[in-house]
């Protein structure tokens, strides 16, 4: 696990955009493609807008990039809360990404079926072999959730890779999420976390005793690759060890 701490939000976003370009270039040169699972949330949205900007748009062979989603809200793809819609506006449309390169969660089936079908879609793309994304991008909620791995949800106890539906009682909504074993099979995992509001959650995840029910993002630990955190100083402020 590697900590990257920067003075400002802008520096964090630039560092992760540069990291994305490096990983994409390496994967495309080696395998002819780059597979990435996108995160929802306002922090990742700014990264996507930066990647689609003139600064980065020409740095990646976007025709070789294949986009999946680390989680999705169980809403239509044109709903304001859809992670797909957010990525479509921030990244896919500006870069004119072909729909053939984008794998959204089909939420019209209802949560359980949507989750099962998404696992089928992902497995088929990886030729039903081991599913290993080149990169999984993750945000962090101030309650220590990541993707849609929320505190005290059954999906936290999964031991084999898969995609599951998650009921959020307090919000009265369904979500669909990659489970931790599937995320952890990725070659690279990158957390994008900035702002003082996340400092307590970052401390819980990186330095407090293990309690995955309370702090689900503690489950994230790449099996064979690397987990990198991209933080600004305010988000890292509660850490005792910043090396
Ligand atoms: O669908 C989602 O909401 C995300 O997958 C979720 O895990 C998000 O990344 C974090 O909640 C951080 O969101 P913010 O960056 O908006 O705080």
* Assembly ipTM: 0.95
Q: How far is the CA of 101 from the centre of ligand 1 (A)?
A: 23
Q: How far is the CA of 166 from the centre of ligand 1 (A)?
A: 15
Ranges of beta strands (E only) in the chain are 2-6, 34-38, 65-69, 71-73, 135-138, 163-168, 173-178, 188-193, 226-232
Residue pair 219/189 in contact by the 8 Å Cβ criterion: no
Beta pairing partners, 65 = 34
Pocket of ligand 1 (CB under 6 A): 39-44, 71, 83, 139-141, 145-147
Domain covering 2-236 in this structure, CATH number: 3.40.50.1360
The Cα 111–Cα 234 span in angstroms is 36
Beta pairing partners, 174 = 167
Q: Which of 71, 141, 234 to mutate to test the pocket of ligand 1 (most atoms within 8 A of CB)?
A: 141
Contacts with 27 (C-beta within 8 Å, 6 or more apart), sequence order: 33, 34, 35, 134, 187
Q: 43-83 pLDDT, tens per residue?
A: 999 999 999 999 999 999 999 999 999 999 999 999 999 99
CA angle 140, 145, 151 (to 5 degrees): 165
Q: How far is the CA of 43 from the centre of ligand 1 (A)?
A: 7
Is 95 in a helix, a strand, or coil? Answer: helix
Q: 81-108 pLDDT, tens per residue?
A: 999 999 999 999 999 999 999 999 999 9
Is 38 in a helix, a strand, or coil? Answer: strand
Q: How far is the CA of 126 from the centre of ligand 1 (A)?
A: 26
Q: For a pLDDT cut of 70, what percent of the chain falls above it?
A: 100
pTM (two decimals)? 0.97
Residue pair 177/163 in contact by the 8 Å Cβ criterion: yes
């Amino acid at each position: 696990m590697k900590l990257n701490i920067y003075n400002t939000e802008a520096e964090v976003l630039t560092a992760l955009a540069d990291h994305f370009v490096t990983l994409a270039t390496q994967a495309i040169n080696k395998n002819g493609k780059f597979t990435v699972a996108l995160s929802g949330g306002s922090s990742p949205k700014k990264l996507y807008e930066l990647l689609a900007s003139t600064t980065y748009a020409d740095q990646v062979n976007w025709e070789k990039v294949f986009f999946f989603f680390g989680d999705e809200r169980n809403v239509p793809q044109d709903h304001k809360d859809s992670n797909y819609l957010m990525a479509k506006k921030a990244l896919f449309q500006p870069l004119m990404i072909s729909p053939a390169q984008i794998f959204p969660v089909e939420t019209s089936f209802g949560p359980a079926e949507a989750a099962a079908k998404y696992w089928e879609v992902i497995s088929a793309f990886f030729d039903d072999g081991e599913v290993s994304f080149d990169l999984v991008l993750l945000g962090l909620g101030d309650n220590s959730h990541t993707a849609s791995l929320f505190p005290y949800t059954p999906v936290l106890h999964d031991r084999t890779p898969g995609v599951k539906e998650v009921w959020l009682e307090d919000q009265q909504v369904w979500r669909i999420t990659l489970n931790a074993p599937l995320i952890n099979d990725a070659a690279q995992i990158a957390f994008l976390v900035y702002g003082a509001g996340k400092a307590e959650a970052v401390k819980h995840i990186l330095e407090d005793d293990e309690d995955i029910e309370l702090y689900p993002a503690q489950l994230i630990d790449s099996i064979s690759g690397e987990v990198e955190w991209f933080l600004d100083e305010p988000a890292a402020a509660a850490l005792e060890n910043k090396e």
